[in-house]
Amino acid sequence: MFHVNATTVLGQNIHVVGSIPELGNWNPTNSSESMMNPNYPRWFLPVSVPAGTTFQFKFIKKDAVGNVIWESGSNRIFTSPSSSTATIDTPLYNWQ
């Protein structure tokens, strides 16, 4: 599960985009579905990724008309557990 603290303006949502097909292969159009935020500004989203895979990702802000704002800074790197049934949460990241 991905977690991030991020503020948005009305109409924006947070998505995850990254280096694997499940995260859109760096294409914002193919990014994850919108993250959920019942405790705004904390956002979260469960995403299934291949077991034992190291990948890069960033959070983006998207609005209904397709405008995209990429977070700054270096790409984030994460390695999924090697067990195909494992569930793991990322740290709670802060928008860069």
Going by DSSP bridges, is the β-strand pair 92-94/2-5 parallel, antiparallel, or unpaired?
A: parallel
Tens digit of pLDDT for each residue in 36-85?
999 999 999 999 998 899 999 999 999 989 899 999 999 999 999 887 77
Q: Which domain holds residue 45?
A: 2-94
Q: What is the pTM of this model?
A: 0.92
**pLDDT 10s digits, 3-47:** 999 999 999 999 999 999 999 999 999 999 999 999 999 999 999
For position 33, which CATH number holds? Answer: 2.60.40.10
Maximum Cα–Cα distance across the chain: 39
**Does the pLDDT of residue 89 top 90, yes or no?**
no
**Total of domains in the chain:** 1
Q: Which residues pair with 58 in a beta bridge?
A: 17
Contact between residue 16 and residue 31 where contact means Cβ atoms under 8 Å apart:
yes
